[in-house]
Each structure stands twice: as C-alpha cells, then as structure tokens.
Amino acid sequence: MAAASGTAAVPDCLREALGKFSTEAPAGWAYTLTTVRNGKDRATARFDPAKPPAGRWTLLQLNGRAPNAKEASQYAQVRAANNSAAPQGTFQKGDIEPASVELLREDAERAEFRCAFRAEAASSDKMLGHLALRLMVNKRSPHVEKFTLELTAPYSPVLGVKMRELRVEMSFTAPSSTGPSLPVASTSHFLGRIFLIGVEEDLALTYSDFAKRE
C-alpha cells in the first residue's frame, strides 16, 4: 500500500463513504449484540426497535447461561435509560473537519485517512478534542470499513479521573442491494485512574443477526 501525505479537498471516495456512514446501527434494524468485558464477563442481548421503548432490549445470555428474571429486568432497565449501543468515544460524521482530512496511504482497494474534529464539535464534546481519528475507506464500494479513535495524550475529563490510554476501533460491512453498511464489531481499551485507583478495561462488542423492521 503506497503512502501519501498532505491535506486537500475531501476525496470523492471519502465523501461518498461518509454520506452513508454512522457509528451506530441504522434505525429500524433489529440485531443481536454480544458484549465481552475484560475477556470474561459476557452478555448477549437482542435489540428490536419494533417493540415499545422499555422492552426493546432482551437479555438472552449472561456468562453462558440464561439470565434469571431479576438480571433480565435490570438489564432492560439499564438499556432503556441508555438506548445506544455505540462504543465510548464515538462521534458523528458531521463532527469531522473537512479541511483536516489527510491521506495516509492508499492502493487500488482502500485508502486510509487521518482527520481532526471541528472546533464546534470539540467544544461541545471536549473528549473529541483529545482524540485522533483514522478512517479506512473501501474505494470499490465506497464505505467506511473501519475507524480508529485514539487518545493523543493523557487527559482528565473530570476531577478525579485521569485517562492515560483510550483506543476505540469499529468495523463495518459493505452496503448491499438489500441494506446499508452495518456494524460488525467494536473494541475499546481504556487505561487510567479513577480517584487514585488504577483502572484498565477492555470491551468487545459483536453485532449479528440483523433484520429490517418495517
């Protein structure tokens, strides 16, 4: 893959890819989400947008077994309060500053870009101002195959919290004649300190069994 550098107008393949890009599952689609925390705590749940808001998430398995009634109820309540499955540190395509786009490398199949976030986005969500973004774009069927967000330097978002490392990666399918680009998997790694206690967390999300709801 040849390397390139320099900031210019947004290339056509990236503009087309971003036009249909979202960091979250598309509206109107049901899917199964498997979450693994630190390689051991595992939960599998089903999201169905056709159900009432309080019942859209159903816990299917918890650490390899069926959940009991209390666990299923607690999971549904937590999910109802926060209905997004997007990983920590995600962004919206409108947050990207077009003038910051830099081509890092490309070949006949793919192009990788480095981007920064708009000042307006970074001021409203200060976390974005401390993250570097890379986008891997498929050129033959223009879509974002993967994005990577990484903390550029240690950062304290609130009093008592010190972030030393944060890295988020998320991958997506190609769009097809029957549906849009869909999330496949997301991983995040966090290393830091919360009130003098060292914290390290690895989170892996896997999306599967998508179904369009009318």
Instruction: Confirm whether 79 is domain-assigned.
Output: no
- For residues 212 and 39, give the distance between their C-alpha atoms in angstroms, rounded to a whole number: 31
pLDDT of residue 42: 97
- pLDDT higher than threshold 70 for residue 145: yes
Dmax of the chain from CA atoms?
Answer: 56
Number of domains observed in the structure of the chain: 1
Instruction: Confirm whether 56 is domain-assigned.
Output: no
Residue 58 pLDDT level (bands cut at 50, 70, 90): very high
What SS3 class is residue 138?
strand
Counting residues of the chain whose pLDDT is more than 90, the rounded percentage is 70
The predicted model scores a pTM of 0.87
- pLDDT higher than threshold 60 for residue 51: yes
- Among 73-87, 128-142, 150-164, 200-214, where is mean pLDDT lowest? 73-87
pLDDT of residue 90: 80
Instruction: Confirm whether 71 is domain-assigned.
Output: no
Sheet holding 41-47, edge to edge: 2-3, 102-106, 110-115, 131-138, 143-151, 161-172, 183-194, 197-212, 29-37, 41-47, 57-62
Domain range holding 193? 2-26+86-212
Residue 126 pLDDT level (bands cut at 50, 70, 90): confident
- Rounded mean pLDDT of the chain? 90
Instruction: Confirm whether 19 is domain-assigned.
Output: yes
Instruction: Confirm whether 134 is domain-assigned.
Output: yes
Instruction: Confirm whether 34 is domain-assigned.
Output: no
Amino acid at 75: Y
- For residues 110 and 105, give the distance between their C-alpha atoms in angstroms, rounded to a whole number: 8
Instruction: Confirm whether 98 is domain-assigned.
Output: yes
Query: Which whole number is the average pLDDT over 75-91?
Result: 75
